[in-house]
Structures are given as C-alpha cells and as structure tokens.
Structure 1
C-alpha cells in the first residue's frame, strides 16, 4: 500500500493516512471489499505507532469508508458513491466559502476570484 507520510507538513499523521486511504477509495484504486492491512502491519510498514493507525481506521470507519469484521480484518465498505460525492462537494463548498469571504475582505472582485480558481484548477 502506497501511503506517504510527511513530517514536514502541519497535518497529523493519522489525518495523512486517513486522507490518502479515502482518496484511494473514492478514486476506485481501492474497491469495495478490498482488504486493508491490519493496523499493526500498517504501523510497522510506516514505522509509526499502532495508536496512530487505529485512529485513522476509526475515523474512516465512522465516516463509512471502511468496515471491520471481527476475526477477519478491515475492508473497504460498500459505498454509496452519491453520498461520498455529496460529502466531498460539501467540503469544497466550505473551502470556497472561506476563500470568498477572505477575497471580499481584501477587495478581490468575483471575476478575479474566478480567474484564480480557474488558474489553480488548470495547474493540476
């Protein structure tokens, strides 16, 4: 499993793991029913605490992305793609609301803000 941990960013390690696994699930790189490594194995591979992987898995399970089956392991949950997409759109809207509020506060016009977003969107 290709999870990259960076100590040079301000994001906690469990969040980095959670976000990368979530991206893999949403993109289809991890499919419904795929087995995830055990918390211990993932912690060993990443050279981090089991507590950290446990927290990432707990949050993913709470959000409905994975499910743990006693005695069998942890698997990608059957997912409602519409629900996941709606959740991601909600997060994007929250970020854009924050950007719009900041832009208004310093006098950036709507056109300038749209141009910035268009430029950032094309860069990726």
Structure 2
C-alpha cells in the first residue's frame, strides 16, 4: 500500500496517514491479520519523523482498526460491524457537507441539489 502525503493539504501529516490507512482497511485493501510497516520503516519510507507515524498508529489503534504487539508489530484487527457502519456514515456526511458547500457556491437551490443526488443514485444502481 502506498501513502500519498502533501504539505499543501489542510490536514496534518499524521492525520493524512491515519485517514489513508483507515480507508485502506475499510476498502478491504488491508485485511484482518495483515501486518503494517513498522513505525520506523514507514517514517523512513515517507521521509517524516518517527513521532508523526507513531501518532498516526496510536490514533488508528485507539479507533480499533489495528492492534500493536510489543516486539512483533502492528496488525489489522477484525472489524466491528457497528463501528464500521458509523465510520462509513461519518465519511458520507463529510463528503455530503463538501458537496453542499460546492452547490451553494454554484448557486444551486436545495431542490436542484436533491434532484442531482437522486439522479446520481439512480444512475449508480
């Protein structure tokens, strides 16, 4: 798995790592039992500080996506379906908020935005 970082983004580097690893787990690119790169190896690969990767791993572990075993590394955990649903809903809400902001900037009415969403849902089915 490759992580893309950018200093131009509005999120700190550790948060970019956290988001991308969680997205990889949610998208089944990383599976239960898979080992993550060590904190030091990831820091070296990304050319960032060890503390930055340590913060990212701590956040991911706090959220229950990975488990760290001393001397062995960090591994993807079995996902709790209720937590998975909540995380997906959180991501959906975040994307919809961005879409609403763009629609307002474009001068779209609520009705037009709802029509557009309905159309997208129809086409995607």
TMscore range, shorter length: 0.7 to 0.9
- The equivalent residue for 1:58 is 58
Structure 2: 5+ residue runs without aligned partners? none
**Mapped partners of 1:79, 1:96: distance in 2:** 25
> Where do 1:26-65 residues align within 5 Å?
26-65=26-65
Q: 1:116 to 1:52 in 2, by over 3 A?
A: farther
Matched, 1:110 2:121: no
How many aligned residue pairs are there?
121
Task: Give the SS at the match of 1:41.
Answer: helix
Q: 1:47 to 1:120 in 2, by over 3 A?
A: farther
- The equivalent residue for 1:79 is 79
Structure 1: 5+ residue runs without aligned partners? none
**Mapped partners of 1:43, 1:101: distance in 2:** 35
Give the TM-score of the pair, scaled to structure 2. Answer: 0.78
Task: Give the SS at the match of 1:35.
Answer: coil
Q: 1:12 to 1:119 in 2, by over 3 A?
A: farther
Q: 1:94 to 1:28 in 2, by over 3 A?
A: closer
Query: For the aligned residues, what is the CA RMSD?
Result: 2.9
**Mapped partners of 2:101, 2:10: distance in 1:** 23
